[in-house]
Amino acid sequence: MGRQSDAKERLMRAMTDLIWERSYGSVTVDTICTKAEVKKGSFYHFFKSKADLMLATLDWAWEVEARPFFDEYFSPTLGGVERLRKVFEHAYRETVDTQKKYGRVLGCPYFNLGAEVSGVEPVVLNKIRYLLILYRRYFESAIRDAVAEGEVSNRDPERTARCLFSLYQGILTQSRIEDNPEIVRELSQHLDMVLGLEKATVAV
Confidence (pLDDT) at 100 = 96
* Domain ranges, residue 18: 1-57
- If one counts every other C-beta atom within 10 angstroms of the C-beta of residue 163, the result is 15
Does pTM surpass 0.95?
no
Same-domain status, 85 and 157? yes
Same-domain status, 84 and 53? no
Same-domain status, 10 and 96? no
Residue type, 186: E
The model's pLDDT over 10-63, given as tens digits with 9 standing for 90+, comes to: 999 999 999 999 999 999 999 999 999 999 999 999 999 999 999 999 999 999
CATH code, domain carrying 26: 1.10.10.60
pLDDT at 160 over 60: yes
Across the chain, mean pLDDT equals 92
Q: Which residue stretches of the chain are H helix? A: 7-21, 29-36, 40-46, 50-61, 67-73, 80-102, 109-117, 122-148, 157-178, 182-185, 187-195
Residue 174: exposure state from Cβ atoms within 10 A (0-12, 13-18, ≥19): middle
